[in-house]
Structure 1
């Protein structure tokens, strides 16, 4: 499936979280924090508003966006206003 965001929206792919601590302890999914960093997959067509590009790692508001699954992977469609920073 191909998803092309519109306007000032950005499609991002969620990064997988570590399931173990550095000491080797397993962390159950219910105890893990929701990740707030993702990789930009596609951007909308509002070039004046969008300040990120494909393959940028971005940090976003914790409860922002609309969650979708594409080919079994978790993605979010975010408004540009929900993106807080580019992470390098």
Structure 2
């Protein structure tokens, strides 16, 4: 990754949302909500609870979205992360 987060910031890539429900119904793009979980791509030097590769759950309006190398990413404070999946 060409961008290193500072202090307690983390860079997260959202996980892809499911295209259909458990019952087999396809969800159109206009009805989808952005997922609130993703993979930590890079963690700043002051992060204590998350590391690169962790799958995390974060607040709905957390961080700032940006685009890098065609990927949609989010940079947020470690405090915006609600939990880490085990």
Give unmatched runs, 5+ long, in structure 2. Answer: none
Give unmatched runs, 5+ long, in structure 1. Answer: none
More divergent stretch after superposition (11-20 vs 65-74): 65-74
Residue 11 (structure 2) aligns with: 11
Q: 1:80: how far off?
A: 0.7
Residue 43 (structure 1) aligns with: 43
Give the Cα–Cα distance (whole angstroms) in 2 for the partners of residues 22 and 83 of structure 1. 27
Residue 83 (structure 2) aligns with: 85
Number of aligned positions between the proteins: 86
Residue 68 (structure 1) aligns with: 66
Give the Cα–Cα distance (whole angstroms) in 2 for the partners of residues 18 and 33 of structure 1. 10
The root-mean-square deviation of aligned C-alpha atoms, in Å, is 1.4
TM, length-normalised to structure 2:
0.89
Give the Cα–Cα distance (whole angstroms) in 2 for the partners of residues 32 and 82 of structure 1. 22
CA contact (8 A) 1:36 1:61 kept: yes
